[in-house]
Amino acid sequence: MPLPPSPDWIPAALFAGWLLAAWLTRARLRDLPLLPEARPVVLPTVTLCIPARDEGLEVGRALDTWLAQDHPSLRILVVDDGSTDATAAELALRAQAHPERLRVLRNDHLPPGWLGKNHALDLATRQPEAREAQWLLFADADVHAAPDLLRRAFAFLEEHPADLLALLPGLDTVGLAERVLLPLANLGFLFVVPAARVADPASRAFCGVGGFTLVRRAAYDAVGGHAAAPMEPIDDMLLARRVKGAGFRNRVAQGGPALHLRMYHGLLAMVRALRKNLIARPALLPLAPVGAALAVAVSLSPVLLALSGQVGMGVLLWLLVPPLMGEVHQRFTGRPMDLAWVLWPTGGLVVAAGLAWACADRLRGINHWRGRNVPLR
């Protein structure tokens, strides 16, 4: 059923908005630095802290890549945060094979006033290996790294000094929902996180990444670590904000394809992640309906234009986004274009679903993740 004709200025405004977004995103991509090739470099002591809760599908193969790092002083702490799947078995197998590099901690109790990931990382950073390290590295349990990644990261820091370095990973996409939505999410993240401004001490822009956040131990302690924000769902980004706000230096660079992960297994897993992370602060709850409406309207704008009689403009907008998705995705993964990207307008519906689920949780006073309901204070 056709919609009423839209005012003439709406198609022009939408097209101009999308062109501006495309131009800014390409500028962000140009400004995003690459890691140098591996070379002889002074390697400080590093402790990698990994939280793991029901990560049996990914944690074993991911951990193997960190155990193979060309960094002699790297130590790895994995906190098994009450897993009920094969996670414990995968970790035990590798801890037995690499006792000099890997230690696993089991935690079955979440204290009040903590989110699980934040508590797991705080627990890891309090261990002797982490207390003695010059740098802490935080990475999710499903992240894969090339053997020379850490060496390249420290070569980058020699050229571009910083106290917190975030690397943007490549995203492995398998099912249709992952192929359509994750490159779109990567595009959106790049748009809102300008690397040049993150590196500028005078700018308030900041960046931390769950796949790779390398932070100087002294800077981490100076801002109180994870204990200073125990209920923060987006812990990586907000750690970077606190570090930069305290006067330390923050940089972001491209990690993929040497750093990559399969972030979510299917559509439901993506919506569950939005359920956990969206509306991170209770004050944002009243804005959730507006956010959901905007997400749907913007993503479905080509369809809405076509239904209102502006078929040509709708098609033009529809075709504008996939090449931009491709440019970003190809650079981070080295993979070719994917015809599934023409389905990108469905992204707003997924965001709206995640927002609705997050709203329901916040109204109940909880944050939910991997079978655990955490009361919000």
Average pLDDT, consecutive stretches of 10 residues, N- to C-terminus, the chain (377 residues):
61 76 87 94 96 95 97 97 95 97 96 94 98 98 97 97 98 94 89 92 96 98 97 93 98 97 92 83 76 85 83 87 90 91 92 89 84 80
| Statement to judge: residues 163 and 229 lie in one domain | yes
Q: Are 264 and 280 in contact (CB under 8 A)?
A: no
| Statement to judge: residues 254 and 295 lie in one domain | no
The answer to whether residue 38 is domain-embedded is: no
The answer to whether residue 183 is domain-embedded is: no
- Of 324, 290, 56, the C-alpha closest to 183 is 324
Quick one: pLDDT at residue 196?
Answer: 94
Quick one: pLDDT at residue 3?
Answer: 57
Give the number of domains in the chain: 2
Q: Which domain holds residue 18?
A: 9-28+267-369
4 burial (CB, 10 Å; 0-12 / 13-18 / 19+) is: exposed
Last residue of a domain, one of 261, 288, 305: 261
The answer to whether residue 99 is domain-embedded is: yes
Q: Would the pTM count as exceeding 0.85?
A: yes
| Statement to judge: residues 154 and 243 lie in one domain | yes
The answer to whether residue 184 is domain-embedded is: no
Quick one: pLDDT at residue 112?
Answer: 92
Q: Which long-range contacts (CB under 8 A, 24 or more apart) does 184-188 make?
A: 184/321, 184/325, 184/341, 184/344, 184/347, 185/347, 186/328, 186/329, 186/332, 187/25, 187/321, 187/324, 187/325, 187/328, 187/329
Site of tokens 């706000």: 245
| Statement to judge: residues 75 and 216 lie in one domain | yes
Element (H, E) at 132: none
